Structure 1
Amino acid sequence: MGDQELPGNAPGEAAVRRAFLKRGVAAALAFALPAVHAGGWQGIRQRGSLQVALYQEMPPFHAQGRGIDVDLARALAAQLGLGFSALPFAAGENMGDDLRNAVWKGHYLGWGPADVLLHVPVDAPLMRATPQVRIVAPYYRERVAVAFDRQRLPALESLAALRGQPIAVAGLSLAGWLMLGAEGGLLREQLQTHLPHGVAAAEALQRGEVAAAAGLASELESVLAGDARFALQPLPAPRAPRDGWAVGCAVRKDADELAAALQQGMQSLQASGELQAIFRAHRVEPRL
């Protein structure tokens, strides 16, 4: 990635994460069962279920108990010969908080840790900063993208082409941060930033309320995929991570057998095509 940073390290990180997962810890507790580690891998096998921490309100990966990560967690558990138990939770101030609460220690209010947390950036600096965990089994490569109405904009070689056009983007998101600073702030007055996430931005574009929408590729694809009226491409902003970022599974550092089982299970899902089918069922193109 060179000098490009992951979205978790960008300015305004806490606000971005809270915007994706706006429900508080109290809401998470209403849906979650306490996780109790019972001796590592053997304890998980004796329990008979894999408890998976899932970020709340992050469509299309998880929203109201459904999404890509929910289906993937269930499929991974099946690969391991286990049942599936979800621990939904709201993001903390940073990834370190999430890894502590959901993976290696647990929250001070009494919930967690789970056996595994999905949707964690596969990032060497993050792993060095959090030696209590390991991140394995990458399953998707995310990127920041923009979608636009082909009738209003035949092409989009630079964001300057959007001047004078209404644009939908979640203000407290990586895409929102990039759009606010794009072209020296040229587009600020055109941005509709009141939206909770990129899925809502894509829906505004689909309804014809705006000429373009910016967000994560997965968010935009889940709404607009297959609709020939719209084009979707990487966000042409210099500060956007050029190659995107991979996400995978986080487990405790000492969970050697679980890490190996998850890695093997993910490889099996990919080899069989089940992983790709899960993404496509939610209208998202699988990328690794």
Structure 2
Amino acid sequence: MDRLPLTMKRRSMLGVLAGAGAAALGLPLTLSATPLEKIKERGSLSVALYNEFLPFHDQGKGIDAELAGALAQALGVKLSVLPFPADESMSDDLRNMVWKGHYLGYGPADVLLHVPVDRPLIEENPQVNIFGPYWRERVAVARRLDAVPALESLSQLGKARVAVPGLSLAGWLLIGAEGGAYREQLVTTFKDGVQAAHALKNGEVPVAAGNLSELQSVLRGQSGIAIEPLPSPRAPRDGWAVGMAVKKDATELAQALQGALNDIAKDGRLAAMFDRHNVTWRPV
């Protein structure tokens, strides 16, 4: 004789009906799937990548594009790239691409790459989990050795013209250095450090400044050119690490991505990705 209480019978029947309805509609049976389980159910990892951001990503190519593909492969799913333009602040990008979505209707993605692993940023954005540093960026300067033999201080620039993107940390540091002493010799019309590096390579200027990755991607290995940290006391001494971000509750996904990143770094694939784009990778 069936002695189950009536309420338990009803709950059991409702569960069966819900499962049958979901199956009939072709929906997953797990109603409370974790973010990682949802990714595996749909068979793809959505990765947000900054656009027009060489050497890391532009039009589906770059270091971050390759890393995104390797992360998806490690999870056993396909890659779905969500390219987007940077907003006013990093917190805006985290809101639009990680935990809420953009008001124009795109996003969020499962994970955003190239996020500063920075304590104040982490504290300002409790909705996300920032982890997995894979690159340490620095403000750098490249120079032709025949024009500027040494550069232990900015005073050794002399009157040399310097190509630098005006709307960048390198530009801000040089424009304000020593009370604006170098403003007249700065060429600040460049979009980014990659363009500034090309100006040096093409002989337009003897010095270029920008992010280390930008300058190396164009100039690493060029004869007669040195690339080194910008000698400014206001520049971040150790640079800044960049990693990735997921929603705060996506703990299992974060652990899986961190494990995949560890493997990619350990077996040399990460260094090879950077090398293919002419950038020297070192452990963070």
For this structure pair, what is the TM-score category when the shorter chain's length is used for normalisation?
0.7 to 0.9
Establish whether residue 41 from structure 1 lines up as the match of residue 36 from structure 2: yes
Aligned position for 1:188: 183
Aligned position for 1:216: 211
What SS does the corresponding residue of 2:93 show, helix, strand or coil?
A: helix
In the alignment, structure 1 segments of 5+ residues that lack a partner are: 1-37
Report the RMSD for the aligned CA atoms in angstroms. Answer: 0.9
Aligned position for 1:33: none
Question: Contact 1:139/1:247 (CA < 8 Å) preserved in 2?
Answer: yes
CA distance in 2, matches of 1:136, 1:255: 12
Aligned position for 2:227: 232
Number of equivalent positions: 251
Question: Contact 1:145/1:215 (CA < 8 Å) preserved in 2?
Answer: yes
Question: Contact 2:99/2:127 (CA < 8 Å) preserved in 1?
Answer: yes
Aligned position for 2:166: 171
Instruction: Give the alignment of 1:76-95 within 5 angstroms.
Output: 76-95=71-90
**Larger C-alpha radius of gyration, 1 or 2?**
2
Q: State the shift of 1:163 in Å.
A: 2.6
Q: State the shift of 1:228 in Å.
A: 2.0
Query: Which structure 1 residue ranges, 4+ long, deviate > 6 Å from structure 2?
Result: none
What is the TM-score of this pair, normalised by structure 2? 0.87
**Counterpart pick for 2:146 among 151, 158, 164:** 151
Establish whether residue 132 from structure 1 lines up as the match of residue 166 from structure 2: no
Establish whether residue 197 from structure 1 lines up as the match of residue 203 from structure 2: no
What is the TM-score of this pair, normalised by structure 1? 0.86
Establish whether residue 56 from structure 1 lines up as the match of residue 51 from structure 2: yes
Aligned position for 2:4: none
Q: Give % identity.
A: 61
Q: Deviations over 1:150-209 (max 9, x none)?
A: 111111111111131111000011111011011221110111110000000000001111
Establish whether residue 111 from structure 1 lines up as the match of residue 115 from structure 2: no
Aligned position for 1:275: 270
Question: Contact 1:151/1:229 (CA < 8 Å) preserved in 2?
Answer: yes
Aligned position for 1:15: none
Q: State the shift of 1:240 in Å.
A: 0.4
In the alignment, structure 2 segments of 5+ residues that lack a partner are: 1-32
CA distance in 2, matches of 1:85, 1:206: 35
Q: Which amino acid aligns with 2:91?
A: G
Q: Which amino acid aligns with 2:130?
A: I
